[in-house]
């Protein structure tokens, strides 16, 4: 599978396309994973030069085509606005250049499928940056589910609250600011839920607000239910995932990097009122102390899952294996996203300005 013959077994030539804020998170992880960052590109020459100067990268370009022609990278990280992902990634993939693309993979399902097909034609690997799946606490949860410790998974709940970003390209994204927040909680939910058979969504906006401020989605996959909530007005900022099984329930706090296991205790009723809370407090105390030590020692950085994903992606390139997040997973998220906004529109969201027109694409 994939991989250009000239790609070094030890060092990959890497380019970054799109020099916005998230590029600052990618750069250290690229180098830690054994990538040689040869150049960056951005439509803004100022942004490209600023990023190159900040990290000692030798060359900066104003277009991806210039970067590719001059540097012949093995890999590019596509960090441009979502509506440009396909036009940036497809030519590179067809030339056999491996691509890591930021979330969401694309705005339109047809564009996402075109990217997937281009990777096949070019014999290149395409990986989507669903980095939260590789946060250590989520990896623990995934392993516990795979080992059958939860029994049958019967419900999954994904919740995110916090301020929506203000970026100039959000008008090109269905749902605006909420659309920017949606991919992370959605791909986490879908990973544990399975194939969605039924979906209902609604959006809410405060009085006088033109943009949606809250999104709620209910889904069904076989005998398993899923619930997703995103709110840009609820406080404090929280990012949680709950996985309910027939034997045990897991509560994952992605911001605080903790995982609490909740289960039944076969004890007298008075003790059963206290013991679960004491057990949860014990787990939180131990994990929080461990996280504090890890941060102080520099073993944990911002978006730890991104570092793990990039390392695994580069390993897949060298070993000619499947990427850690397959293109099909990215396509599925884009397809479900479109269904969510269509359902929200049918539920009355057509009065929300940012949903008009985009949903009809």
In a domain, 359, yes or no: no
Could you tell me which residues come within 8 angstroms of residue 39 by beta carbon, excluding any fewer than 6 positions away?
A: 15, 16, 52, 57, 58, 59, 60, 61, 67, 70, 71, 73
Asked whether residue 253 falls in the same domain as residue 263, the answer is yes
Same-domain check for residues 183 and 56 = no
Residue 58 is assigned to a structural domain of this protein: yes
| Structure-token match 């034997």, residue found | 247
Same domain, 168 and 239: yes
Which tokens go with 290? 């461990």
Is 169 in the same domain as 230? yes
Residue with structure tokens 């580069």? Answer: 314
The neighbour count for residue 323, using CB atoms within 10 Å, is: 23
Residues 20 and 147 in one domain: no
pLDDT (0 to 100) of residue 346? 63
187 and 292 belong to one structural domain: yes
Residues 66 and 208 in one domain: no
- Give yes or no for a contact between 354 and 176, defined as CB atoms under 8 angstroms apart: yes
Number of separate domains in the chain: 2
Q: Residue 331: which residues within 8 A CB-CB, separation 6 or more?
A: 105, 109, 112, 113, 116
Q: What per-residue confidence (pLDDT) applies to 164?
A: 80
In whole angstroms, how far apart are CA 262 and each of 151, 159, 242, 278, 285?
13, 18, 10, 11, 15
Domain that holds residue 22: 12-132+304-325
Name the E strands within the chain: 12-17, 35-41, 59-61, 75-78, 98-101, 126-128, 153-161, 198-204, 214-221, 224-231, 238-245, 249-253, 258-262
Q: 263: phi > 0 → left, psi -120 to 50 → alpha, else beta; which?
A: beta
Please list, in sequence order, all residues whose beta carbon lies within 8 angstroms of the beta carbon of residue 320, skipping any fewer than 6 positions away.
Answer: 1, 2, 3
Q: Which residue stretches of the chain have pLDDT < 50?
A: 1-8, 349-361
At 236, which helix (H) or strand (E)? none
**Around 203, how many Cα atoms within 13 Å sit in the side-chain half-sphere?**
30
Q: What is the pLDDT of residue 348?
A: 53
Pair 186, 317 in one domain: no
Asked if residue 138 and residue 125 are part of one domain, the reply reads no
CATH of the domain at 59: 3.40.50.720
- Asked if the structure places residue 190 within a domain, the reply is yes
pLDDT in tens, 278-301: 999 999 999 999 999 998 888 888
Strand-pair partners of 160: 230, 239
H helix runs in 297-355, sequence order: 304-319, 327-346
CA separation for the pair 101, 76 (Å, rounded) = 8
pLDDT value of position 345: 83
Strand partners, 60: 40
Question: What does the pLDDT read at residue 330?
Answer: 98
How big is the chain, counted in residues? 361
Neighbours of 204 (CB within 10 A): 15
Do residues 145 and 282 both lie within one domain?
yes
Torsion on CA atoms 144, 150, 155, 157, rounded to nearest 10: -40
d(CA 358, CA 18): 24
Q: Which residues are within 8 A (CB) of 42 and not within 5 positions of it... i.e. 6 or more apart?
A: 17, 18, 19, 20, 48, 51, 60, 62
- Res 351: pLDDT: 46
| pTM of full prediction above 0.85 | yes
Among the listed residues 355, 295, 339, 335, the one whose alpha carbon sits nearest the alpha carbon of residue 116: 335
Rounded to the nearest integer, the mean pLDDT of the chain is: 92
Residue 47 lies in a domain: yes
Do 283 and 309 fall into the same domain? no
Phi, psi torsion values for 297, nearest 5 degrees:
-85, -5
């Amino acid at each position: 599978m994939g991989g250009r013959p000239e790609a070094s077994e030890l060092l990959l030539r890497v380019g970054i396309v799109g020099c916005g804020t998230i590029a600052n998170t990618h750069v250290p992880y690229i180098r830690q994973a054994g990538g040689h960052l040869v150049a960056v590109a951005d439509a803004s020459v100022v942004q490209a030069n600023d990023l190159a100067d900040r990290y000692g990268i030798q060359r900066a370009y104003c277009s991806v085509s210039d970067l590719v022609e001059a540097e012949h990278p093995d890999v590019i990280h596509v960090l441009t606005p979502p509506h440009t992902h396909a036009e940036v990634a497809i030519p590179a993939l067809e030339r056999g250049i491996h691509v890591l693309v930021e979330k969401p993979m694309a705005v339109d399902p047809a564009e996402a499928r075109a990217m997937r097909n281009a990777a096949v034609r070019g014999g290149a690997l395409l990986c989507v940056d669903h980095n939260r799946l590789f946060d250590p606490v989520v990896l623990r949860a995934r392993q516990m589910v795979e080992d059958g410790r939860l029994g049958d998974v019967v419900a999954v709940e994904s919740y995110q609250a916090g301020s929506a970003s203000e970026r100039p390209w959000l008008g090109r994204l269905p749902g605006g600011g909420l659309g920017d927040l949606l991919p992370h909680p959605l791909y986490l939910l879908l990973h544990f839920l399975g194939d969605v058979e039924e979906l209902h969504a609604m959006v809410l906006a405060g009085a006088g607000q033109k943009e949606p401020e809250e999104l709620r989605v209910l889904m069904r996959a076989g005998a398993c239910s899923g619930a997703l909530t995103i709110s840009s007005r609820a406080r404090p900022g929280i990012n949680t995932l709950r996985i309910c099984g027939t034997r045990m329930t897991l509560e994952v706090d992605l911001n605080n990097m903790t995982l609490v296991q909740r289960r039944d205790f076969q004890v007298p009723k008075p003790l059963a009122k206290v013991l679960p809370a004491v057990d949860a407090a014990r787990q939180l105390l131990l994990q929080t102390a461990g996280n504090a030590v890890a941060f102080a020692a520099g073993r944990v950085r911002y978006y730890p899952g991104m570092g793990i994903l990039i390392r695994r992606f580069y390993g897949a390139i060298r070993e000619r294996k499947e990427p850690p997040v397959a293109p099909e997973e990215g396509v599925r998220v884009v397809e479900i996203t479109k269904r969510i906004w269509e359902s929200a529109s049918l539920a009355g969201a057509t009065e929300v300005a940012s949903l008009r027109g985009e949903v009809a694409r």
